[in-house]
Amino acid sequence: MRFRPCIDLRGGRVVQIVGGTLVDGQEPTTNFASDRSPAAYARMYRDDALPGGHVIALGPGNHDAALAALNAFPGGMQMGGGITLDNAEAYLEAGASHVIVTSYVFRDGQVDMARLEQLAATVGTHRLVLDLSCRQRAGAYWVVTDRWQRFTEVRVNGETLERLAAYCDEFLVHGADVEGKRAGIEADLVRLLGDGSPLPVTYAGGAKTLADLELVKVLGSGRVDLTIASALDIFGGDVPYREVVAWQRREESPWPT
């Protein structure tokens, strides 16, 4: 299990928002907006040997900021937000290790297999991450698109994970109902991902304490990575980023501590 860092961008700035409030034509609830550049965050993750995180563009006006972050940590971060067949290769050439795709491969509430197959063939499955961020409805988790506002008919379960695993290298799953709220993780979702995913999967959403790293490690059977964002002190929270880095170093150590 690993800690996966993030850089969320809105209007070219590093921000942390409450995920469910990102609606077209309205200002989202913002937990934090940084005066530090996206590249500064990327260099920090690079220097702390934390690869595998993600840069997410939340709407337009983030292209240059995203490129700056990717250039600062070549091969160290994934790129998501508005990824299509037309721009995916450009972000990979700019330094992204993977591109993260969601809305582009969903149409009319279903996975558009033609688009997914074409994208996978173009960039390679080894450089593609499928974003299956979801919300709960009627006792199940359903993939949501269009800034997490539109429910699809794709249920997040073992069958879906197995079917889509042939087209990508990893999954990214935000628990959109709790994203940015610092009120606790979606425990049932983490358990589902740990039991059902044949690929590496990163969960994000609701983490509030350092102990959530150990909780996700247990619930996800050591197979689900965790992104902590709004709760970190580098994003205005109270979980010390340095303690998270120290936790990661202990996980990597061959000797028990």
Does the structure show a pLDDT above 60 at 26? Answer: no
Can you name the CATH fold of 6-252?
Answer: TIM Barrel (3.20.20)
Average pLDDT over residues 80-94: 96
User: What are 127-145's pLDDT values in tens digits?
Assistant: 999 999 999 999 999 999 9
Of 161 and 30, the structure prediction assigns the larger pLDDT to: 161
- Residue 226's alpha-carbon distances to 125, 161, 213, 248, in angstroms, are 22, 18, 7, 11
User: What are 188-242's pLDDT values in tens digits?
Assistant: 999 999 999 999 999 999 999 999 999 999 999 999 999 999 999 999 999 999 9
Does the structure show a pLDDT above 60 at 21? Answer: no
Does the structure show a pLDDT above 70 at 161? Answer: yes
Mean pLDDT of the chain: 93
Average pLDDT over residues 83-88: 97
What does the pLDDT read at residue 152?
Answer: 96
In percent, the amount of the chain with pLDDT more than 90 equals 82
Cα dihedral across residues 124, 221, 147, 7: positive or negative: negative
Q: What angle do CA 158, 162, 163 make, to 5 degrees?
A: 120
Rg (CA), the chain: 17
- The first and second tokens of residue 99, run together, are 């591109």
User: What are 27-70's pLDDT values in tens digits?
Assistant: 656 767 889 999 999 999 999 999 999 999 988 899 999 999 99
- Report field, pTM of the whole predicted structure over 0.75: yes
Does the structure show a pLDDT above 80 at 168? Answer: yes
